[in-house]
Structures are given as structure tokens and as C-alpha cells.
């Protein structure tokens, strides 16, 4: 099979991470999600706890540095992650979750950029189950996560999160089912390798 990089953007609770891990497992390649934070932490000797607060979150106005025009801590974390994403995409076939990877890698011929979405009810139920929380807490978490991801994507790429022109495939995991989504993406990888 030729070299490829699959990027997975995803709405909160849509199963994007599960799909990414299943794809990586089926294709026997690494999957990068929070792993990227661990790599930054290791390379820079910074605690993962601090880095995780800036992961896929753009700086809030009150987090901005005192000097206008200086990059915020979140900007620095984004840049370090971007560097690692580009290195990984260059050196190996892999699956990368979120973190604007589709736009960071958009000039690569071997990129397949995917976005996963689903109806709110499907996503709510998954979040309740995953986090063992009630409906109201799950609804708040879903809303906040999507809001952060949308703002982060918009800020670092100047594109609209989940808008069709930014992706090669957009799939509804609630309608198709997680395993069907995995099989469909595998089919595209197989077809484009021909």
C-alpha cells in the first residue's frame, strides 16, 4: 500500500477518535491524538498537565501576553504540535486526530482529510456513556468542546470547521454507524492505492 496520511476532524461525541483508532489498527499505522501532547512534553521537558490545557483551545483574551503581537502560550503549543504533525506526515503513514492537521498538511498528495459528525442525540448518548455523566452535564460538555474546536480551527486556519470545501469526505457516524464509517474510509484508502 502506498504511503498515506488520514486526518480526522470530529464533532464532540461523534466517535471520531474511536474511528481513528480502528483505522490505525486496521492499517497497522500509528494514531496521533493526545500522543502529540506527550511528544511535545517529552521534547521540551514541559509537564503534560500544562500542555493539555492549551490542546485544541485557542488562547482566551485574558491569556494573551502583556506585549501585543507576542505569541500566547497556546500559540506556542500549536506551533510545536504543527511541527510534529508535519514531521510525522513526512516520515510515515499515520492517522491524526483534530489539531487542524487537515489544513497543516493540505499540500500533501497523500492526504485524505475526513470530518465526522452526527445528530446531537447520538453524540449526547456517547458522551454520557464515556464520561459517566448525566444528560445536562453531557450537553454542556458537548457544546463547550465543539465551541473550542470551532474557534481553534477558525483561528489557526482561517477556514470554517466542518465546512465541506475543507475536507475530502464528511461522514455521519450516527446514521452510517462507526464500523461502516471505518470500512468506508478503508475502501477509499484501498481505491486510491490502486
Closest to a second copy by CB, 82 vs 171, is 171
Report how far residue 181's alpha carbon sits from residue 169's, in angstroms, rounded to the nearest whole number.
10
Report how far residue 114's alpha carbon sits from residue 173's, in angstroms, rounded to the nearest whole number.
12
Closest to a second copy by CB, 43 vs 160, is 160
Closest to a second copy by CB, 151 vs 188, is 188
Report which of 36, 14, 12, 32 is spatially closest to residue 24, judged by C-alpha positions: 32
Tell the smallest beta-carbon distance from residue 132 to a second copy (Å). Answer: 28
Residue 175 binds a second copy (CB under 8 A): yes
How far is residue 182 CA from its own chain's centroid?
A: 16
Tell the smallest beta-carbon distance from residue 99 to a second copy (Å). Answer: 20
Q: Are 123 and 14 in contact (CB under 8 A)?
A: yes
Q: Which of 115, 140, 155, 156 binds a second copy (CB under 8 A)?
A: 115
Residue 151 binds a second copy (CB under 8 A): no
Amino acid at each position: 500500500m502506498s504511503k498515506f496520511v488520514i486526518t480526522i476532524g470530529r464533532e464532540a461525541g461523534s466517535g471520531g477518535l474511536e474511528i481513528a483508532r480502528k483505522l490505525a489498527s486496521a492499517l497497522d499505522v500509528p494514531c496521533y491524538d493526545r500522543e502529540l501532547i506527550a511528544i511535545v512534553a517529552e521534547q521540551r521537558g514541559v509537564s503534560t498537565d500544562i500542555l493539555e490545557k492549551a490542546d485544541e483551545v485557542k488562547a482566551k483574551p485574558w491569556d494573551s501576553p502583556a506585549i501585543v503581537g507576542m505569541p500566547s502560550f497556546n500559540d506556542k503549543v500549536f506551533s510545536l504540535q504543527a511541527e510534529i504533525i508535519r514531521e510525522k506526515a513526512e516520515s510515515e503513514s499515520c492517522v491524526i486526530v483534530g489539531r487542524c492537521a487537515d489544513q497543516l498538511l493540505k499540500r500533501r498528495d497523500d492526504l485524505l482529510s475526513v470530518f465526522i459528525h452526527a445528530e446531537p442525540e447520538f453524540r449526547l448518548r456517547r458522551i454520557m456513556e464515556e464520561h459517566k455523566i448525566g444528560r445536562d452535564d453531557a450537553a454542556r460538555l458537548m457544546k463547550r468542546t465543539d465551541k473550542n474546536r470551532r474557534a481553534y480551527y477558525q483561528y489557526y486556519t482561517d477556514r470554517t470547521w466542518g465546512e465541506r470545501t475543507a475536507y475530502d469526505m464528511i461522514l455521519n457516524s450516527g446514521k452510517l454507524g462507526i464500523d461502516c464509517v471505518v470500512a468506508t474510509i478503508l475502501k477509499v484508502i484501498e481505491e486510491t492505492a490502486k
